[in-house]
Structure 1
Amino acid sequence: MLFSRWQETSARFRDRIAVIEGTESWSFTDLAVCLAEKPLTNAPVIASGGALEIVTAVLQGWRDQQPVLPLEKGAAIPELPASFPEGTTHLKLTPGIAGKPRAVFFSAEQIAADADRLVAAMGLRHEIPNLAAISLTHSYGYSSLILPLLLHGIPLHAVEVPFPKVIADALAAHDGVVIPAVPSMWKAWHRAGILRGAKIDLAVSAGAPLSLELERAVFVECGLKLHNFYGASECGGISFDTSDAPRESAANLGAPLLGVTVRVHESGRFLVESSSVALGYEAARESELLGDGEFLTQDFGRIEGGRLMLESSGAESINVAGRKIGPAKIEAALLASGLAERARVFGVPSHDPERVEEITAMVELKSGTLDQLRKRMTETLAGWEMPRHWETAPDESLWTLSRAELKKRAPAR
Structure 2
Amino acid sequence: MTGRVVWTVPVGASPSSVHELADALRRATDGSGPAVRPVAAAGPTASVPDTPVPDGVAVVVATSGSSGDAKHVLLTAEALRASASATERRLGGPGRWLLALPAEHVAGVQVVLRALLAGAAPVVQDLTGGFRPDGFASAATELPVRARRYTSLVPTQIARILDTGPGAPLDSLVSFDAVLVGGAALDPGLRRRAEDAGVSVVTTYGMSETCGGCVYDGVALDGVTVDIESPDPTGAGRIVLGGAVVAAGYIDPVDDNGAFDGGRFRTGDLGRLDGGRLTVLGRVDDMINTGGEKVAPAAVERALLGVPGVRAACVTGLDDAEWGQIVAALVVADGGADDDTLRSAVRSASGRAAVPRVLRRVERIPERGIGKPDRAAVARLLSGDGSDTLRTR
Q: Could you list the per-position Cα deviations for residues 238-271 of structure 1 after superposition, in whole angstroms to 9, with x for gaps in the alignment? A: 2112xxxxxxxxxxxx211111111101271111
Do structure 1's residue 209 and structure 2's residue 177 form an aligned pair? no
Equivalent position of 1:276 in the other structure: 245
The code of the aligned residue for 2:162 comes to: H
**How do residues 310-349 of structure 1 correspond to structure 2 at under 5 angstroms?**
310-314=280-284, 349=329
Residue 67 of structure 1 pairs with residue 75 of structure 2: no
One of 82, 86, 106 as aligned partner of 1:117: 86
Tell me how far 1:289 sits from its aligned partner: 1.5
Shift of 1:149: 2.4
- Residue 134 of structure 1 corresponds to which residue in structure 2? 101
Q: Distance in 2 between matches of 1:391 and 1:356?
A: 12
1:113 aligned counterpart, secondary structure: helix
Query: Which residue of structure 2 aligns with residue 229 of structure 1?
Result: 204
User: C-alpha offsets along residues 149-174 of structure 1, whole Å, 9 cap, x if unaligned?
Assistant: 22331441101133111112223444
Verify: 1:257 aligned to 2:265, yes or no: no
Q: Does the 8 Å contact 1:117/1:257 carry over to 2?
A: yes
Give the Cα separation in 1 of the matches to 2:122 and 2:136. 14
1:305 is the counterpart of 2:275: yes
**Residue 351 of structure 1 pairs with residue 331 of structure 2:** yes
> What secondary structure does 1:55 align onto?
helix
Give 2:11's aligned residue: 48
Three-state SS of the structure 1 residue aligned to 2:278 is strand
Cα deviation for residue 76 of structure 1 reads: 2.6
Contact 1:269–1:296 (CA under 8 A) maintained in structure 2? yes
What residue number does 1:157 align with?
A: 123
In 2, are the aligned partners of 1:350 and 1:358 still within 8 Å (CA)?
no
Q: Structure 1 residues 42 and 290 mapped into 2: Cα distance closer, same or farther (>3 Å)? A: closer
Q: Deviations over 1:43-80 (max 9, x none)?
A: 53425232112112324545554221111221233221
Structure 1, residues 172-216: CA drift from partner, whole Å, max 9, x if none? 444263121011101110111232574222122111111111111
Q: In the TM superposition, what is the alpha-carbon distance from 1:225 to its structure 2 partner? A: 3.0
Contact 1:261–1:274 (CA<8 Å) still a contact in 2? yes
In 2, Cα distance between the equivalents of 1:393 and 1:256?
A: 38
How far, CA to CA, are the matches of 2:195 and 2:64 in structure 1?
Answer: 35
CA separation of 1:286/1:124 partners in 2, compared to 1, >3 Å: closer, same or farther?
closer
Question: Which residue in 1 is equivalent to 2:158?
Answer: 186
After superposition, the Cα gap between the structure-2 partners of 1:283 and 1:177, relative to the gap in structure 1 and judged at 3 Å, is same
Q: State the distance in 1 between where 2:25 and 2:118 align.
A: 15
The code of the aligned residue for 1:111 comes to L
Which residue in 2 is equivalent to 1:195? 170
Q: Is the 8 A contact 1:84 1:105 kept in 2?
A: no
Q: Which amino acid aligns with 1:109?
A: E
2:325 maps to: none
Asked whether the equivalents of residues 44 and 68 of structure 1 are also in contact (C-alpha less than 8 Å), the reply is yes
Amino acid at match of 2:38: P
Distance 1:295 1:165, change over 3 A: same
CA RMSD after TM alignment: 3.8
CA distance in 2, matches of 1:118, 1:393: 42
**1:298, distance to aligned residue in structure 2 (A):** 1.0
Q: Which moved more, 1:276-285 or 1:257-266?
A: 276-285
Give the equivalent residue in structure 2 for 1:177: 149
Identical pairs, percent: 23
Kindly state the Cα deviation for residue 295 of structure 1 after the two structures are TM-superposed.
0.2
2:152 and 2:179 in contact (8 A); partners too: yes
Q: 1:218 is matched by which residue type in structure 2?
A: A
Match 2:54 to one of 80, 86, 98? 86
Which position in structure 2 is the counterpart of 1:58?
25
Structure 2 unmatched ranges of 5 or more:
232-236, 287-297, 299-310, 313-327, 334-362
TM-score for both structures, normalised by structure 1 = 0.61
